[in-house]
Amino acid sequence: MGIKRTRKRKIKRKNRFIPTIRNKYLRWIMRAVVYFLAITIGCVILLRFINPPITFLMIQRGVERKSEGKDWKITKKWVKYSELSDNLKKAAVSGEDARFMEHWGFDRKAIADAYQRNKDGGKLRGGSTISQQTAKNVFLWPGRSWIRKGFETYFTALIELFWGKKRILDVYLNVIETGDGLYGAEAATQHYYGKSAQSLTKRQAALLIAVLPNPRRWSPVKPTAFINRKANLIVRYMGYSQVP
């Protein structure tokens, strides 16, 4: 009888111990989630008022240049939204995200079209909006993975909620990679055209946006036939584009 009672006590203690462990891990997980939300939301709100000083892509490109024996090069200059050419804003929307003013960060039609094209064996392409690209450029590391895509979705929703369209387009045009070691519209226009982004013509703005998928391979001042065709389409659609 004494042995049985001892076993029962041990079993009871063990059964009490298991929920204690579970509750402990659950508290850790909940605490981590709360900290993550507080830190990320705080950063997003902060960057609504403070311009991002650097991005992970800038750091990666700098490291790549150093590994190739080149100098670390990050050329950028932040320009206020009001000082950016309307031609550039309209070219960005026309070439990168035609429904920018209509969606809440995700263009379902563009995503569906991209999925169908990829499924049919066409050239692989994504359906990323300007909001998604901005979230990726500012808050995340370069690369492709489902984890990074999940974080991109999260940060896209946050900047749509806390920033609004004007701030999103402002940050996008000031941090995008526009050439080898060049970031933002102002650095690009100074380098390629020798003038400010405030005075870009429609054609110049369209060419600058047309090379964005691979600005280290293509140049707006030496456009290929493909880039010229793309720029022509952008100019055509600029007349219909709405910007904040």
Q: Does residue 55 share a domain with residue 37?
A: no
Confidence of residue 124 (pLDDT cuts 50, 70, 90): very low
* Confidence at 19, pLDDT banded by 50, 70, 90: low
Q: What's the number of domains the chain is made of?
A: 2
Residue 94 sits in a domain whose CATH number is 1.10.3810.10
> What's the whole-number average pLDDT of the chain?
86
Whole-number percent of the chain with pLDDT over 90: 64
Per the domain annotation, does 25 fall within a domain? yes
Q: Is residue 243 part of a domain?
A: no
The answer to whether residues 100 and 177 belong to one domain is yes
Per-residue pLDDT, 99: 93
Residue span of the structural domain in which 24 resides? 1-50
Q: Which of 30, 50, 70 is the last residue of a domain?
A: 50
Domain-located, residue 215:
yes
Read off the pLDDT of residues 166-210 as tens digits, 9 standing for 90 and up.
Answer: 999 999 999 999 999 999 999 999 999 999 999 999 999 999 999
Mean pLDDT of 42-64: 93
Mean pLDDT, range 11-20, rounded to an integer:
56
Q: Which residues contact 73 (CB under 8 A, 6 or more apart)?
A: 62, 65, 180, 181
